[in-house]
Structures are given as structure tokens and as C-alpha cells.
Amino acid sequence: MMKLVFERDGKAITIGHSLPFWLNKVTGLSEIDCDVESEKATDQDGEVYKGSTANKRNIVIDATVILPDGKNHAVIREEFFAFFVPRQPGTLYVYEGATAKKIDYRLENIEFDQDGIFRDFSISLICPDPKFKATEDDVDTIAQTMGLIEWPLELPEEFEVGRRTDTLMATVVNNSSVTRGMTLTFVASGEVENPGMIEVGRQEALKINTTMHTGDVIVITTGQGKKRVKLIRDGVETNINNLWDFGGVWLQVEPGTNVFRVTADSSVAPLEVTIASTPAYWGA
């Protein structure tokens, strides 16, 4: 059975097959609406495809209020109108069996019936980004330090507390048909000149023209509408988009297998890099 959970500012409302909000019908979860652009030439049969874009998603939920003990319909409506606030963003989580996905929304409309013991209501949501996302990120770490201490602890005369892996590459598999952005986190344990990353198969690369020092952290986000580069040094966060290397690519996780390699104009040994991305889907 399907369950819908709305979250905003640490609060949540659940609509499913339980009291007090019984789900009757939901539309807009398993469809996609696209605008296809084409052009017709003289004496040409049909048209030439030029491109296409996915439109915003409209999700409409029809449900029924079945009152629990101690509440009335006026209280329920007040709770809803306090939660679903115009102009405030929220996140809808869709659970069905073992599958869980989420999507960000803005409220378009709420309407309650005014009469009856069981009263129907509807909620219309607009999702400017029509893609659903997984509820957890895929995370890969390159050149990480592995802890070697085990419990119960026995200390021989010589022992290792950790070991650094030698790999500079990570393979990220995207089983969806949707390209997704990434969050790249570079952490320096020494001096690194002009850190960057390359996707080996496509030979696409990015680089940040700066020298990292011990303790520095650079965070790069490459998602649509979220392209940012920031430096965290001594606890102070600075926007360093201006240090982006000209000609670089905001790397994406494309459908299929992606092989990423850490780069630098000096040794990459002091770098630990984490690649985080959220799987995305065209439907729930």
C-alpha cells in the first residue's frame, strides 16, 4: 500500500490507509509531460527533432478525514492550514512496498468538504523539478584512510592504527535513466595545488585554481541550479566560484558506469575526496 509523508521545517503529516487521513487517489506520480521542439523544412516529410524538456509536475491527492477521538473537523483544518503554507517549500516522501522516493513541492491548492461525518479533501502540489529522488545518497570515497583498530584491543609492540588506500579512482553506477549532479568534497591533510577531477570515459574535467593547505575543505556542487564552489578554511566558509578553471565541466553522474579520477597539479596524496549523488527518477 502507498503512504505519503509531507515534511516541512521538522514537522510531518502522513496520508495513507490509516486514521485520520485515508488516501483515496493520487495522480501525477507516474507520468511525465514533455515539450518536444521540432522544425519543418521545405519539401521535408515530417520534422527535424531539435530538443525536448520535461515540464513541472502537478501532484493531486484526494483523501478523506476520518476523525480520531478528541478531535473535530475544525481542528483538522487548522492543522492543515498551519502546515501547508503558501510560498513555503516542502518535501513529499512516497512509500510503496520497499520503495521510497521524495520530491520537493510548492503548494497550489487545498480544498475541504464542509459537511458530513467523513469529509473529503484534496491537495494540489506543483513540483518545479519534476524528478523524484532517492531518500539516501550514493557515497563513494577516494583515497580514504581506513581504521585498523579492532575491539577487544590488543596492543603488540608495533601496530597500525590506520592505512591509507592507494586508489585515486571511483566507479559510480547510475542505474536510472536520469543524469544527476554531485557533491564533491575535497579534504586536504597537506598542501595540494589546483585540485580537480576527471571522468575517464568522457574525458570531461573540472579544476579549482587554488592551493589547499592542511585542514582545508573544498565543496563543489554540480546539480541543476546548485552549481557552487566553496572553501572552508579555519571554520570560515568562502565562495570561490571565481577560482573555477576556465573550460571546466560541472561533472554529472550519467546513466550507466562513470569512472572518476582525482587530479591535482601537485601530488594528490594529501587529498581525501568524497563523491555524493542522489539517484533520480522520472516517476515514483
pLDDT in tens, 26-79: 999 988 889 899 998 887 888 888 888 889 999 999 999 988 777 788 888 888
Question: Quick check: pTM over 0.95?
Answer: no
Residue of higher predicted confidence among 226 and 155: 226
Three-state SS for 30?
coil
What per-residue confidence (pLDDT) applies to 44?
A: 81
